[in-house]
Amino acid sequence: MKTADSANGNAATIKDVARQAGVSIATVSRILNGSAGVSPALTERVQQAVDALGYQPNAVARALKVKESHSIGLIIPDIENPFFPALVRGVEDMARSHDYAVILCNSDGVGSEEERYIRLLHGKQVDGVIFTGGANSDSSMELLSSLPIPTVSLDRQSKRVHMSSVVVDNVYGAALAVRHLVELGGRRIAFIGGSPQLSVAAERFKGYGQVLAEYGLPLDEGLILHGDFTYDSGYQNAWLLLEKEREFDAVFAANDMIAIGVIECLAARGIRVPQDVRVAGYDDIRLAGWYKPALTTVRQPVYEMGQEAVRLLLHLLGSPTQDMVEKRFRPELIVRQSTGGDE
């Protein structure tokens, strides 16, 4: 980030920012620390003053620091999704083993919340950030990349902003599930996914389409529905699919919570899984193996991904000039009762 000088020739201060924005020093401090209760318009005005002056919060403190804070910021979009607690546990266990504390931030996948947490973590002088964004996180990733904070993107990638990342080969994983359904005789396979703006959702849809093309099966737009990665979305989209009265013999759901919502909706309409319709999910959350019927799914090494994100971040902390690094895991198919398996 560039550093501008204030009118008196010295580095810009918080007082300069307050004067330029026409607000109090306390208001500037609240905004820079990510405090709630400040209007978006006021926040934008202060941010414009910060950018114009090149003000760097805690610049002196950073220069005088003789050791790291030994803290890592972790931003995730949905703590209620069972995928994320396993991811958080991997991050926390690996961080603890290296004497780092983790500051967990749940953004609800909202861009303004992501940016508020990024500024808050910057103000707290965390040594690095592990970031899992929501459906519209490009601006948040741009903000992160503009700050002098080593960052690892976990489970998500952006086409606009490139940074070191730990991801899964979602195209490959989705292809495993859909190929399994085709090999069992599926010819009218519905897709129910998350927001296509999310890289993971778009990649899983791509894997679905690739397998249909591989087997010469049509890509029927009437069998494709997008929503979000929740039980409710799965249930509601399965209901919509049935209301369309489009014939289908299998469903590939882009995560396990969607898949469970689909199965519950089918059961409510008297449709049996797997006897009438086979269903496969993605993630292999703990509930997938306990649910009845036990869910065929694509297992991601979630805990290991969290650990790897910390390893990569620590590597970046030790090598600030390191080029962008990508660690890509391969998932595996777990066959259970929802597609006719014995488990």
Looking at residue 75, its pLDDT comes to 97
Mean pLDDT of the chain: 89
Does the pLDDT value for residue 1 go beyond 80?
no
pTM of the model: 0.77
Looking at residue 34, its pLDDT comes to 67
Looking at residue 29, its pLDDT comes to 80
Looking at residue 162, its pLDDT comes to 83
Does the pLDDT value for residue 2 go beyond 70?
no
Domains of the chain: 1-66 (1.10.260.40), 69-167+302-329 (3.40.50.2300), 170-301+333-339 (3.40.50.2300)
Mean pLDDT of the 229-246 span = 95
Does the pLDDT value for residue 62 go beyond 70?
no
Of the ranges 196-205, 240-249, 264-273, 318-327, the best mean pLDDT one: 264-273
- Range with the poorest average pLDDT among 51-60, 65-74, 181-190, 322-331: 51-60
Please report which confidence band the pLDDT of residue 36 belongs to, taking 50, 70 and 90 as the band edges: low
Query: pLDDT exceeding 90 applies to what percent of the chain?
Result: 67
Mean pLDDT of the 182-190 span = 97
Mean pLDDT of the 154-171 span = 89
Looking at residue 44, its pLDDT comes to 86
Please, what is the end-to-end C-alpha distance for the chain in angstroms? 55
Does the pLDDT value for residue 316 go beyond 80?
yes
Residue 166 CA to residue 328 CA, distance in Å, equals 6
Tens digits of per-residue pLDDT, 257-300? 999 999 999 999 999 999 999 999 999 999 999 999 999 999 99
Structural contact between residues 212 and 171, judged by C-beta atoms closer than 8 angstroms:
no
